[in-house]
Amino acid sequence: MRTVGVLEAKTNLSALIDEVETSGEAIVITRHGKAVARLAPEPSDRRARATELAERTRAFRDKQAPDPDWASLSWEQLKAIARDEADR
């Protein structure tokens, strides 16, 4: 991960944004050698939704008491349950 000082970030902000956008890599901005901010690409909507769904599914699963019937549910059934839980 690349690091740049505050002055360089201020001077070259547009170029740094282009670099983050094309490379997909974050850039850490430092002040006096200490990391103070991160310039990172925004996740795509689809990736963000998939990540959110996975987190909600894990949270839902972790709240449930162990139940052997869960092992028989398909992934589609589990996703439907998680969506219903999130809508509440």
Q: Judging by beta carbons within 10 Å of its beta carbon (0-12, 13-18, 19+), is residue 43 exposed, middle or buried?
A: exposed
Q: What is the pLDDT of residue 52?
A: 82
- For residue 53, the one-letter residue type is L
State the pTM of this model: 0.50
Q: What is the pLDDT of residue 75?
A: 87
Phi, psi for 5 (deg, rounded to 5): -75, 165
Phi, psi for 68 (deg, rounded to 5): -65, -20
Q: What is the pLDDT of residue 9?
A: 96
From first to last of its 88 residues, the chain has per-residue pLDDT tens of 899 999 999 999 999 999 998 888 999 999 999 999 999 988 776 667 778 888 888 888 888 766 777 778 888 988 898 888 888 7
CA atoms of 78 and 68, how far apart (whole Å): 14
Asked if 43 and 51 count as a contact pair (C-beta separation under 8 A), the reply is yes
